[in-house]
Amino acid sequence: MISRENPARITEIVGHVPVTGPDGVDAAVRRADAECRDWSALPVAARAEILRECGETLAARQEELATLLARESGKPLADCRGEIGFALAYLRWVCDHAPRVLAPSEVDDGAGRLVLSREPYGVVGCVTPWNAPVILALLKLAPALVAGNTAVLKPSPLAPLTVGEVAGALPVVFAVHGGAQTGRALATHPLVRKVAFTGGDVAGREIAASAGAMLTPSVMELGGNDPAVFLPDFSLTAADYERLVMASFATSGQVCMAAKRLYVPRGRAAEFAEAYVAAAERVLVTGDPLTPGVSMGPVVSAAAADRIRALVAASAERGGTAVPLGRVAPGHDPDAGYFVTPVLVTDLDDAAPLVAEEQFGPAVPLLVYDTEEEVLARANAGELGLGASVWSPDEERAFALAGRLEAGFVFVNTHNRTGMSLRAPFGGVKRSGYGREYGEEGLLEYVQTKVVHAPAAFRSGGQGMAPGAYPGTG
């Protein structure tokens, strides 16, 4: 049994889930496999309608689900409402667009009759993290199901409860619970035809290797160390600074596409830091996720808190200066949970672990640069390439630099969730993963193209072809 504590009040157990052993994983995959034939036989529009109704049922439970999510994840209630609302908006987007995107196409002309259809894989094994458990599961389940696949979901043991409720409200989804061992059993099951993973580098490499050993195709959404580049002409309003602060500190910085390295022109660094700290004072309020007005809760676990504090301590040893940010909510007890003081760290070099690694917590380095070529090279250094942002009132200049940044998604004049779009495919380059979620590409991730072809030469009245000849060669 897994017991999940509230990371803001660690003596409070929010709920339990059973650990699914190898036999349980096998049973879930077999049940999912058995459902494939009937589910995939439905027209895509019929599946979309069923999923749309599920979305409406879940929408009616939004407040209950958001509260549960806040209690198990430590994310402020408003964030949890936002995540569930956004996840359900994505589900609706999928239902609206799937019939068009997944429609078969047919050409019948002088070259023959060619039908291309979008076929489901079968059972999709989904392994997901805790930081945005509902949206990250629906980014896999919604396109997979609408395309005619069935699914087995293994959420993170650090936030299994809300997404368990969501999975339970969907057709042909089977949830299994546990840690790496359960994930491994799922990724290596011979009846799993596609593996969809979101999480960190270590698990990602192992899952990709296990899937590869089975020749199972996979989609990998991994970590990021997003640079935010402020061009010399940057011009930020108070609201821009507030948005920027939350682009780094929402979910206590535990977001794959958070702004994780801030690159500011040397001559404007002092002005930037002052306005940033002032904005944090206005919008960054640490406290219990259920307290109104709180915008930052705890981190997810004691291990995460220790890791982030160690990164900040190592920064101080390298000459970094940590400036505490924001306020605490009245009556807040930081010792009740896994709370970490949010900080902006100045005076660091790019080799400092806080800069070179994905910090995944509430500590952000402010780095200074001198030239655009230099900042481009520094932003592109490292193995990760998930998101990035460029800030400038000159949109052409911002787009030009964006084109040279090694990232799957570059935001202009914003960063993180405020820059997302349901229609824009999201995913990484380099070691941040492969495959895409959201948009049409996110739908196409869960289908294989099947071709049925009657060459003109062999149709009624056709001219035939010499045995063994290649078409179109005379």
How far apart are CB 160 and ligand NAD at their closest, in Å? 9
Considering beta carbons, is residue 148 or 155 the nearer one to ligand NAD?
155
- Whichever of 264 and 388 has its CB closer to ligand NAD, that residue is 388
Nearer to ligand NAD, 183 or 287 (CB): 183
Please state, as a whole number, how many other Cβ atoms lie within 10 Å of the Cβ of residue 83. 26
Measured in whole angstroms, the distance separating CA 277 from the mean position of its chain's CA atoms is 28
Residue bearing tokens 């290596």: 188
Tally the C-alpha atoms within 13 A of residue 134's C-alpha that lie toward its C-beta. 33
**CA–CA dist 179, 190 (Å, integer):** 20
Decide whether 347 or 357 has the Cβ nearer to ligand NAD: 357
Strand-pairing partners, residue 196, are 126, 219
The DSSP-derived string for 175-231 is E---SHHHHHHHHT-TTEEEEEEES-HHHHHHHHHHHHHTT--EEEE-----EEEE-
**Binding region for ligand NAD (CB under 6 A):** 127-132, 136, 154-157, 179-180, 183-184, 187, 198-200, 203, 206-207, 221-224, 256, 358, 360, 386, 428, 433
Q: Please name which of 241, 244, 286, 253 lies closest in space to residue 360, comparing C-alpha atoms.
A: 253
For 149, 348, 350, 406, 409, the CA distances from 378, given in Å and listed in that order, are 42, 13, 8, 11, 17
Of 427, 419, 373, 426, which Cα lies nearest the Cα of 400? Answer: 373
CB of 422 to ligand NAD, least distance (A): 15
Quick one: the chain helix, strand, coil %, rounded to 5? 45, 25, 35
Instruction: Give the H or E element holding residue 45.
Output: helix 44-60
Beta carbon nearer to ligand NAD, 149 or 198: 198
Nearer to ligand NAD, 145 or 187 (CB): 187
Q: Which is nearer to ligand NAD, 156 or 218 (CB)?
A: 156
| Residues tagged active-site | 221
* Cα gap 437→367, rounded to integer Å: 31
Strand partners, 197: 127, 220
* Least distance from ligand NAD to the Cβ atom of residue 359, Å: 10
Instruction: Provide the β-strand partners of residue 429.
Output: 385
Q: How far is the CB of 445 from ligand NAD (least distance, A)?
A: 13
* CB 279, CB 66: distance < 8 Å: no
Taking the complex as a whole, how short is the minimal distance between the CB of residue 354 and ligand NAD, in angstroms? 15
Segment (H or E) for 42: none
Task: At 275, list the tokens.
Answer: 């306005």
Please, what's the b/e burial string for 99-114 (b: 16 or more CB within 10 A of its CB; e: otherwise)? bebbeeeeeeeeebee
Output the smallest distance, CB 38 to ligand NAD, in A. Answer: 29
User: What are 289's two structure tokens?
Assistant: 């996720």
Q: Which H or E run includes 261?
A: strand 261-265
State the nearest-atom distance from the C-beta of 304 to ligand NAD, in Å: 8
Q: Which residues contact 20 (CB under 8 A, 6 or more apart)?
A: 28, 154, 176, 177, 178, 182
8 A C-beta contact, residue 140 and residue 87: no
Q: Which is nearer to ligand NAD, 187 or 368 (CB)?
A: 187
Cα–Cα distance between 42 and 52 in angstroms, integer?
15
CB of 136 to ligand NAD, least distance (A): 6
Least CB distance from residue 105 to ligand NAD, whole Å? 30
With CB atoms as reference, the residue minimizing the distance to ligand NAD is: 183
- Up-side HSE of residue 309: CA atoms within 13 Å toward CB? 12
Q: Is the Cβ–Cβ distance between 398 and 231 less than 8 Å? A: yes
CB-nearer residue toward ligand NAD: 307 or 378: 307
In contact, 230 and 242? CB cutoff 8 Å: no
